[in-house]
């Protein structure tokens, strides 16, 4: 497979930015080397497809809306009643692996890896910054770790995934359309300016 190069490569200014304070309120990090595929199925083949995926990915498939299923570094997002997104390291070879395991009569596997840029956002002010961009209630009582939601930034589709907590602060992954990723990332940085932020290389 052709290497997926982030839309931020060579453009994002690494280092400390924004207001001076003890410790950055937000940390941004590009997440390269992740593959993303979509698996869709026909009206009567959903259970069979989910069974194949559970076996191939070694994932216990969640039936809870807006909650991911995970195993190691593989994450499954139930984005629609008849559709899943699956993210994993490039080395897994998701598209080839699942295309072989899944007959076309049951479902279709589509490569999406080049279409998205993933930005990881962490730090104590993460929720405040994201709340300025997404119309989503991010309180952990309604959006706990493992939750995800499709939304938009400036009317452009994006997906937000609450990955985990780290040192008492939340960690989120934002999936942005590659075409608009740099512009939207710059918007996130502007929102974080008042909290102080770091862009990691």
Q: What is the CATH number of the domain that holds 125?
A: 3.30.1360.120
**Residue 157 and residue 124 in one domain:** yes
Give the Cα separation of 151 and 153 in Å (integer).
Answer: 7
Which among 69, 90, 113 is the end of a domain?
A: 113
Give the Cα separation of 134 and 121 in Å (integer).
Answer: 14
What mean pLDDT is predicted for residues 21-50?
92
pTM score, two decimals? 0.92
Distances from the Cα of 9 to the Cα of 6, 26, 34, 39, angstroms = 5, 20, 15, 28
**Residue 140 and residue 87 in one domain:** no
**Residue 99 and residue 56 in one domain:** yes
* Structural domain harbouring 52: 34-113
**Residue 138 and residue 182 in one domain:** yes
pLDDT at 122: 96
Does a structural domain hold residue 140?
yes
Instruction: Give the model confidence (pLDDT) of 102-152 as tens digits.
Output: 999 999 999 998 899 999 999 999 999 999 999 999 999 999 999 999 999
**Residue 28 and residue 119 in one domain:** yes
Does a structural domain hold residue 156?
yes
Does a structural domain hold residue 108?
yes
Is residue 196 pLDDT above 70, yes or no? yes
**Residue 74 and residue 133 in one domain:** no
**Residue 131 and residue 106 in one domain:** no
pLDDT at 63: 80
Does a structural domain hold residue 4?
no
pLDDT at 8: 86
Q: Give me the number of domains the chain comprises.
A: 2
**What would the two tokens of residue 92 be?**
């897994």
pLDDT at 103: 94
Instruction: Give the model confidence (pLDDT) of 46-95 as tens digits.
Output: 999 999 999 999 999 988 889 999 999 999 999 999 999 999 998 899 99
DSSP 4-58: PPPTTTTTS--EEESS--SS-SEEEEE--SEEEEEEEE-TT-HHHHHHHHHHHHT
**Residue 45 and residue 106 in one domain:** yes
What mean pLDDT is predicted for residues 146-161?
94
pLDDT at 23: 77
**Residue 105 and residue 146 in one domain:** no
Give the pLDDT band (50/70/90) at residue 1. low
Which among 94, 113, 132 is the end of a domain?
A: 113
pLDDT at 2: 63
Strand partners, 151: 158
Does a structural domain hold residue 69?
yes
Is residue 7 pLDDT above 90, yes or no? no
Give the pLDDT band (50/70/90) at residue 3. low
Does a structural domain hold residue 10?
no
Give the pLDDT band (50/70/90) at residue 4. low
Exposed/middle/buried for residue 192 (C-beta within 10 Å: 0-12, 13-18, 19+): buried
**What would the two tokens of residue 116 be?**
């998205």
Which among 71, 97, 113 is the end of a domain?
A: 113
**Residue 107 and residue 147 in one domain:** no
Exposed/middle/buried for residue 79 (C-beta within 10 Å: 0-12, 13-18, 19+): middle
Which of the 8 DSSP states describes residue 60?
A: -
């Amino acid at each position: 497979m052709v290497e997926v190069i982030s839309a931020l490569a060579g453009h994002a200014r690494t280092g400390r930015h924004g207001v001076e304070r003890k410790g950055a309120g937000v940390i941004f990090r590009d997440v390269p080397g992740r593959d993303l595929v979509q698996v869709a199925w026909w009206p009567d083949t959903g259970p069979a497809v989910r069974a194949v995926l559970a076996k191939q990915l070694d994932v216990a498939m969640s039936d809870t809306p807006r909650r991911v299923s995970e195993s190691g570094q593989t994450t499954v997002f139930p984005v629609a009643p008849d559709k899943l997104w699956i993210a994993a390291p490039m080395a897994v070879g998701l598209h080839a692996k699942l295309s072989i395991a899944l007959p076309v009569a049951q479902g279709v596997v589509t490569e999406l890896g080049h279409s998205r840029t993933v930005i990881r956002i962490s730090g104590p002010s993460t929720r405040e910054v994201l709340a300025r961009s997404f119309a989503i209630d991010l309180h952990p009582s309604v959006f706990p770790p493992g939750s995800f939601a499709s939304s938009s930034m400036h009317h452009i589709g994006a997906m937000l995934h609450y990955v985990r907590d780290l040192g008492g602060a939340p960690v989120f992954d934002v999936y942005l359309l590659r075409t608009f990723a740099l512009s939207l990332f710059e918007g996130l940085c502007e929102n974080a300016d008042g909290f102080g932020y770091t862009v990691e290389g």
